[in-house]
Amino acid sequence: MDQTVLLAHGGGGVQTQELIDRIFKAHFANPYFTADDAAVLPLGHERLAFSTDGFIVSPPFFPGGNIGKLSICGTVNDLACMGAQPLWLTCAFVLEEGFPLADLEGIVCAMAETAKAAGVTLVAGDTKVASKGQVDKVFITTSGIGRLLGNVHTSGALARDGDAILVTGDIGRHGAAILLAREEFGIEAEIESDCAPLWHLVQAVLEKTDEIHVIRDATRGGVGTVLYEIASQSQVGIEIRQEDLPVDPRVSGICSMLGLDPLYLACEGRLVIIAPHKEQDRLLATLRALPHGEGAACIGSVTGRHKAGSVVVETAIGAKTLLPRPTGELLPRIC
Amino acid sequence: MDQTVLLAHGGGGVQTQELIDRIFKAHFANPYFTADDAAVLPLGHERLAFSTDGFIVSPPFFPGGNIGKLSICGTVNDLACMGAQPLWLTCAFVLEEGFPLADLEGIVCAMAETAKAAGVTLVAGDTKVASKGQVDKVFITTSGIGRLLGNVHTSGALARDGDAILVTGDIGRHGAAILLAREEFGIEAEIESDCAPLWHLVQAVLEKTDEIHVIRDATRGGVGTVLYEIASQSQVGIEIRQEDLPVDPRVSGICSMLGLDPLYLACEGRLVIIAPHKEQDRLLATLRALPHGEGAACIGSVTGRHKAGSVVVETAIGAKTLLPRPTGELLPRIC
């Protein structure tokens, strides 16, 4: 293993997992320490979900949102993915000396609005200021507490042979929006981030059936990374169909130009939901009737035909190839 | 108000309060949003405390600890100050590309040890990596959940005329240790940070009496800042006696050389406890019998003789002067 921290250690892929295993798990090992989006903790007669997430997106303002909106959505969605109703959030800011207060207010405004839309309350905060050059503009860490619904039990380890794999909308829009906002490629296109709080979608599907096995939000590593994580945690094979992947044509266009795969572009408002195929139709109908779920689609299956831990793509012409594993740095780096 | 973020906005003094009032309170206003160290939240038959704190200390390793130990102590103590037993913590790292993994491991080790000593469990984490120069080595944000003891109700707003003001040990040691660790002044002295988790002290004093009015940990702004905050929140006058302030002679020496006031040097393992004078003796006896409480002392009183919101110091020769208000940047900047 490398002897210093690499950008790839923060990419959400294999190296991130190595760092977690070697350093964090080795020292923090305990029964509650989670490999999922949030820890599940017993308190009296309740089960709590508890989660934390750091946000260092550059640029902090982008079409469809800003780092403030993102920081609320990220933690709300991590709690939601555990089947927990998000209740309370805290936020910790690290601000660079010289950061415009008007920008800070824009960020805080977006946080308040998004929290309201998500039905959560911001209960505590912390502000540190770093000298100019000691931090890049603004970092935000949000943490959240949610309450698990009665008998919900979802986990990345519960995908089973024969399950359908759903996504709640078109993929890769956040990554593409950030890429364009950087203006490094001279490409002009109007792409808005998909960034959104999604508890209402989770609540709706959990009300439809007790048989939801996995709910994950596809964030920095995109849908491809999430699928590999699930394949590994559940020790199953996964097959997806290229032509069933919902991708906005503008996102496809950018991916073609830059040689990127939308499966590895970040989403910040998309869930991967895994449940038995018999539930597929009414889950899709439920999702499509709700905001941020209009573009829901079934993209493939969990299947015993492929090796445990592998993700296979059936291309438009019917060929089946292994999806390249998520390794190394994110392209583009969006956090 | 200034139009960009200033270092003083992070100093924990008047400007920090202005920033909180103008930007955060203005948008996040809700009944749970806290001015204390942690929010108190009802859940079923329990009351939870929920807190977050960011750590950006430079250098990350110093005599008596490192940023990892500090990040656990800070959140454990914030929960403890609400009369809440700290239970679960999360940690979010922002690492600079190129940061040595051995140093990261040293930090994580200290976190695990300190968590164990404090009786808390680290349940979830997050790691982001920033490009070289985008962050200064390592930032850590910890968040914590605690459970409030039965009928405990402490707050910075509950100090009353006639109360005694206790500190749990000598003050300013963390600030002095960081100052020396920077090696900017060419002063050599062996001063260890007071950094320590303090729930056991809080638990012990709460078991002795139901009449604890205020518990606060004196962190970045030092004891002076905490006293001004309490004087303002409780709308009371405070008087302290210079000669009763416990200060390590090496810390006094450095303060004399550099023109600093130990009341405004950071502590990371010291509580300010306010309770009726009649409780003073047995509280001091209780504290002095416990680790990190050996140097406990009564340093003054809450008194109607001074204007609400003011903190007065009686000097060694009996003169009474207003303690200068905590404004502007921390000297030294320790976060």
Inter-chain touch B141–A136, beta carbons under 8 Å? no
- B165, B145 in Cβ contact below 8 A? no
What is the spatial distance between Cα B93 and Cα B106, in angstroms, rounded to a whole number? 14
Nearest to A46, CA basis, from A147, A121, A151: A147
Per DSSP, chain A holds a count of helices (H) and strands (E) of: 9, 14
Nearest to B64, CA basis, from B112, B99, B108, B114: B114
Domain shared by A181 and A63, yes or no = no
Residue A333, pLDDT > 60, answer no
The DSSP 8-state label assigned to residue A302 in this structure reads E
Mean pLDDT of each 10-residue bin along chain B, 335 residues long: 81 79 87 80 90 92 96 96 95 94 96 96 92 90 94 90 98 93 80 96 95 93 93 96 96 92 94 97 98 98 95 94 78 54
- pLDDT band with cut points at 50, 70 and 90 for residue A8: confident
Would residue B275 count as lying in a domain?
Answer: yes
Domain shared by B175 and B317, yes or no = yes
Would residue A15 count as lying in a domain?
Answer: no
Which residue type, as a one-letter code, is found at position B36?
D
Which residues make Cβ contacts (< 8 Å) with residue A298, sequence separation at least 6?
A: A164, A165, A166, A244, A280, A284
Inter-chain touch B6–A129, beta carbons under 8 Å? yes
What is the spatial distance between Cα B41 and Cα B35, in angstroms, rounded to a whole number? 14
Q: What is the CATH number of the domain that holds B117?
A: 3.30.1330.10
- pLDDT for A328 equals 57
Would residue B173 count as lying in a domain?
Answer: yes
Q: Which residues of B touch A52 (CB under 8 A)?
A: 90-92, 124-126, 141, 143
Would residue A156 count as lying in a domain?
Answer: no
- B147, B85 in Cβ contact below 8 A? yes
Q: Which residues of B touch A60 (CB under 8 A)?
A: none
Domain shared by B12 and B42, yes or no = no
Domain shared by B128 and B215, yes or no = no
- pLDDT for A167 equals 98
Domain shared by B183 and B293, yes or no = yes
Distance, in angstroms, between A165 CA and closest chain B CA?
Answer: 26
Per DSSP, chain B holds a count of helices (H) and strands (E) of: 9, 14
Q: Provide the residue range defining the domain that includes A61.
A: 34-148
Residue A253, pLDDT > 80, answer yes
Give CA B27 to chain center in angstroms: 26
Distance, in angstroms, between A320 CA and closest chain B CA?
Answer: 34
Would residue A127 count as lying in a domain?
Answer: yes
pLDDT, mean of residues A31-49: 84
Q: Respond yes or no on whether the N-terminal peptide bond of residue A59 is cis (omega within 30° of 0).
A: yes
Domain shared by A297 and A197, yes or no = yes
Would residue B119 count as lying in a domain?
Answer: yes
Would residue B156 count as lying in a domain?
Answer: no
Domain shared by A258 and A175, yes or no = yes
Domain boundary residue among A90, A118, A148?
Answer: A148
Q: Where are the alpha helices (DSSP H) in A33-100?
A: 67-80
What is the spatial distance between Cα A262 and Cα A256, in angstroms, rounded to a whole number? 10
Order of strands across the sheet that contains B39-43? B39-43, B46-55, B138-148, B84-96, B121-130
Domain shared by B199 and B290, yes or no = yes
How does strand A39-43 pair with strand A46-55?
Answer: antiparallel
In chain B, how many domains are there? 3
Name the 3-class secondary structure at B186.
coil
- A49, A82 in Cβ contact below 8 A? yes
- For chain B, the C-alpha Rg in angstroms (whole number) is 19
Domain shared by A208 and A80, yes or no = no
pLDDT, mean of residues A163-172: 98
Most confident of A17-21, A293-297, B187-191, B229-233: A293-297
Domain shared by B278 and B200, yes or no = yes
Domain boundary residue among A119, A148, A177?
Answer: A148
Most confident of A26-30, A51-55, B328-332: A51-55
pLDDT, mean of residues A141-149: 95
- pLDDT for A21 equals 85
Domain shared by A169 and A138, yes or no = no
Domain shared by A310 and A275, yes or no = yes
pTM of the model: 0.92
Would residue B328 count as lying in a domain?
Answer: no
- pLDDT for B328 equals 57
Inter-chain touch A5–B98, beta carbons under 8 Å? yes
Q: What is the CATH number of the domain that holds A263?
A: 3.90.650.10
Distance, in angstroms, between B289 CA and closest chain A CA?
Answer: 31
Which residues make Cβ contacts (< 8 Å) with residue B212, sequence separation at least 6?
A: B83, B152, B154, B205, B206, B273, B274, B275, B279
